[in-house]
Amino acid sequence: MLFSSNIFLYIFLPLLLTFYFLSQYRYRNFILLIFSLIFYAFDSLRYVGLLGIVTLFNYYYAKHLLWKGQKKQKILLAVGIAFNLSILIYFKYTNFFISTCADLTKYFSGSLAWGSTIDVALPIGISFFTFHAISYLIDVYKKKVAPCSNLVDFSMYFMMFPHLIAGPIVRYSEIESSIKQRVINWDLFFSGIVRFCLGLGKKILLADQLASISGKIFSLSNQGELNTPLAWLGIICYTFQIYYDFSGYTDMGIGLAKMFGFSFPENFQQPYRSSNIGTFWRTWHMTLGRWFKDYLYIPLGGNRRSLARTCLNLLIVFFLCGLWHGASYTFIIWGLWYGVLLCIERVLKEKYGILIQGTTGIIASFFLVMMGWVFFSQPTLGAAFLYFDKLFSFDMTAQYYNLSFFLTCDKIVVLCLSIFFAFFNFDFFYSPAKEYTSLLCLKAASAIIVLIFSCAYMALYGFKPFIYFQF
């Protein structure tokens, strides 16, 4: 079920809000749990049992994790992490492993000795709930949180639909107090409604419009009908499309959580305004970046050792970050692209005292990020390299299509608005500080207008799936 679908907006959410606020407080976690299961089962009924198994395992395993003896605790933690990763690896990477071995065998021996891939579908949201489980076990092991003592409470946290499918990655420690006791007031509920409406507008009015351009241009690339101007238009549109698609989903998730009394961590802070790649990764998919930092980069040694070791740690982290996004060479190269860029920044800073900042840094960082999206958006490395060839070949021929075919007046407006909202400072719109009546009226009016236009567009043209649902 999608946050932007009619069944969610007009049936699921109104029913949930009605049951939730008419029920006694002690039943609200149970109601959220039941509706979250319905939400997940709507599109992935066959894997509800798997989600239940993972939930039950981590709940009971964490309760018995803190045995006496540091060595036993480490072994138990390793086993728990291995269990969660084994499920992710089986469903997401088995076929990638088989095809990779087949490619290597064919390359070195000239014959295909490996069998065919297996028929296994990817459970929705598996990458996200696996990371939720691992973070919970590690935090219990480090005694940052006590094991949850109530199965309903833990299951509600683990399966809560605002973050279940595509994040943000919410650690148990971040909402532990709200799970047990939370106060819902009008200010929080109003803030949640506004955040949800703005996220819906990002998705429907910006991301989906840009997707209609980038999708068509990428299909031209497959047909060999692409020229340089169209290639640049396609990747520029995709750059803003994926930002508004994912940040829009995050805004909707954070807004929904606020309606029910939870405060989720922020996941985006206008990353395209970053003046270097390090800042970009501190403002893009922030909960994932912090997850890798806290549970992988720092345990590897972080930047506490030599410069060479720091760079190696960065390459390992971003190799796995790319692999986490998808079982494909393109995602691995995309991750390593950032690992290399961050290593270069680290060397420039520590060896030569150079840190690129200001307008020059913003332009350079945006260009490098956009080049990374070429790998992310293309199905194969071959397709990605062909796209790069079109970007820099200065091929101006227009066999069948030109820019005016895609950049109609309405699409030009959408693209200009996308650029404006990505680079103009809108922190005041999300600020939790004391608000004046004029600002409240502005937020309310903006939310109503965006909601009306979004619903009207969906009624006329429908909606597209979220990009990050594939992860």
Instruction: Please write the tens of the pLDDT for every residue from 77-93.
Output: 999 999 999 999 999 99
Of 50-64, 143-157, 429-443, which range is least confident? 429-443
- pTM of the full predicted structure? 0.93
Taken in order 133, 134, 135, 141, is the CA torsion positive or negative?
positive
Secondary structure string (H, E, C) spanning 309-342: HHHHHHHHHHHHHHHHHCCCHHHHHHHHHHHHHH
Share of the chain above pLDDT 90, in %: 68
Mean pLDDT computed over every residue of the chain:
90
325 is catalytic: yes
Q: What's the pLDDT tens digit per position in 366-391?
A: 999 999 999 999 999 999 999 999 99
Backbone phi, then psi, for 400, in 5-degree steps? -130, -30
The rounded Cα 164 to chain-centroid distance in angstroms is 11
- What is the band of 107 on the pLDDT scale with cuts at 50, 70, 90? low
Q: CA 233, CA 214: separation in Å to the nearest integer? A: 8
Q: CA 150, CA 29: separation in Å to the nearest integer? A: 11
Q: CA 311, CA 425: separation in Å to the nearest integer? A: 32
The one catalytic residue among 132, 163, 285, 325: 325
Q: CA 450, CA 233: separation in Å to the nearest integer? A: 26
- Given its phi and psi angles, is residue 268 left (phi above 0), alpha (psi -120 to 50 degrees) or beta? beta
Amino acid at 284: W
Q: What's the pLDDT tens digit per position in 165-194?
A: 887 999 999 999 999 888 888 888 999 999
Q: CA 73, CA 62: separation in Å to the nearest integer? A: 11
Query: What is the rounded radius of gyration, in angstroms, for the C-alpha atoms of the chain?
Result: 23
Nearest to 163 by CA among 183, 181, 178: 178
Q: CA 164, CA 127: separation in Å to the nearest integer? A: 10
Query: CB neighbours of 230 closer than 8 A, spacing ≥ 6?
Result: 217, 220, 390, 401, 402, 403, 406
Task: Let me know if 56 is exposed, middle or buried by CB neighbors in 10 A (0-12, 13-18, 19+).
Answer: middle
pLDDT top residue among 431 and 287: 287
- Please tell me the total number of residues recorded for the chain in this structure: 471
Token readout for 43 is 């599109």
Q: CA 339, CA 319: separation in Å to the nearest integer? A: 7
Of 24-38, 344-358, 394-408, which range is least confident? 394-408
Mean pLDDT across 351-359: 89
Q: Is the peptide bond before 465 cis (omega within 30 degrees of 0)?
A: no
146 to 84, 175, 229, 444, 447: CA distances (angstroms)? 20, 13, 56, 40, 39
Share of the chain above pLDDT 70, in %: 92
Exposure b/e, 128-157, CB count within 10 A at least 16 = b:
bbbbbbbbbbbbbbeeebebbeeeebbbbb
pLDDT of residue 111: 59
